[in-house]
Structure 1
Amino acid sequence: MEDNVELDHVARIQRAWSRERPDLDVSPQGVIGRLHRVAGHLTEQLQVVYRRYGLGEGEFDVLATLRRSGEPFERAPGELAAHTMVTTGAMTKRLDRLERDGLVARRPSATDGRGRVVALTEAGRELIDRAFTDHMRNERRLLDELSPADAEQLEAILTRWLALLEPPAPA
């Protein structure tokens, strides 16, 4: 790296580590550090839309999971926790808030006498439909910063990498 070239945040960190620890290969920071920073920026931009609808990321995730489950737009709390990758305790807090706001309803399961289900209310369905439409517009805006070819290549790379890090979910 030349001294007169403007370095991004990650490159400056790599340069400092290369100076302080020349015995280590710091090149992985180039990918991991930038990916981490991009993820942070994307999360900030995605949360703008969630907040517009009075939702946090977790509440949006629950409503979206219920909505994409299809009619009758309901799941057991444990299924929701598994689909959104949070603990059942965290799920309970999310559901309490969503139920308080009239966006979901909890009721006994028709198929399991001891079980319960969480269902989208009409207000919840209307809200997530509007929020998801804006969310997709926002994601398109963010992705449009890349060329279509770059976006396609990035998706392919990330798909392969994620498959190595995360076991495939059952069908």
Structure 2
Amino acid sequence: MNHDRIDDILEQWQRESPQLDLSALAVTGRVLRIARLLEKHRESILAGYGLAVWSFDMLATLRRQGPPYQLKPTDLYDLLMLSSGAMTNRIDRLEKDGLVVRLRDPSDRRSVSVQLTLKGIELMDTVMPVLFNRENQLLEQFTKAETQAFTKLLRQFLLEFDPNGR
């Protein structure tokens, strides 16, 4: 069997503290490492389109809402798990780039929605197939059954860790 960096860490801990149960580290260490590597992979793809992971996440969240591709800022920051201050700055940057626009509610001038512009929709419709195709290529090493089993286990783990993570 191949050896990875997490195996090295596990061996070091086993040598230094053999009484420790390292089963969780064997899983969480790999999950964390994979998450970092996937984020770097995603960053490298998105950079070619002038996007960062955060901007893609925001634009993709709006795009998957369906027409008219808009949400209130509070809904956006809830979905993206951000503070309202961070959300305001991000909306400002995307608005400056012409990817979103703020729309005032005619019946309540205090209420605003954030909507994808045509430029934002076109960018998402260009980027998403490329990104998802490249990410699917990473899973080609697994059979369909393995991918389904992996998905099931990850969902189970995530829901146990974050039961309200809907």
TM-score, normalization by structure 2:
0.92
The 3-state SS of whatever aligns with 1:117 is strand
Q: In the TM superposition, what are the counterparts of 1:53-92 in structure 2 within 5 Å?
A: 53-92=49-88
The 3-state SS of whatever aligns with 2:19 is coil
Number of corresponding residues: 166
- Give the 3 Å change call, closer, same or farther, for CA 6–79 of structure 1 in structure 2: closer
Q: In the TM superposition, what whole-angstrom CA distance separates every residue of 1:111-166 from its partner, at most 9, and x where no partner exists?
A: 53311111111111100111111111112111213222221110010111111122
Question: What residue ranges of structure 1 are gaps of 5+ in the alignment?
Answer: none
User: Over the residues paired in the alignment, what is the CA RMSD in angstroms?
Assistant: 1.6
TM-score, normalization by structure 1:
0.90
Partner Cα separation in structure 2 for residue 138 and residue 6 of structure 1: 24
Partner Cα separation in structure 2 for residue 136 and residue 43 of structure 1: 13
Q: 1:99·1:105 contact (CA, 8 Å) conserved in 2?
A: yes
Partner Cα separation in structure 1 for residue 86 and residue 141 of structure 2: 34
Please, which moves more after superposition, 60-69 or 142-151? 142-151
Aligned to 1:47: 43
The share of aligned pairs that are identical, in percent, is 37
Question: What residue ranges of structure 2 are gaps of 5+ in the alignment?
Answer: none
Q: 2:159·2:165 contact (CA, 8 Å) conserved in 1?
A: no
Q: Which has the higher contact order (CA 8 A, sep 6+)?
A: 1
Deviation at 1:168, TM superposition (A): 4.0
Q: 2:105·2:112 contact (CA, 8 Å) conserved in 1?
A: yes
The 3-state SS of whatever aligns with 2:59 is helix
- Give the 3 Å change call, closer, same or farther, for CA 65–110 of structure 1 in structure 2: farther
Partner Cα separation in structure 2 for residue 128 and residue 90 of structure 1: 22
Aligned to 1:166: 162
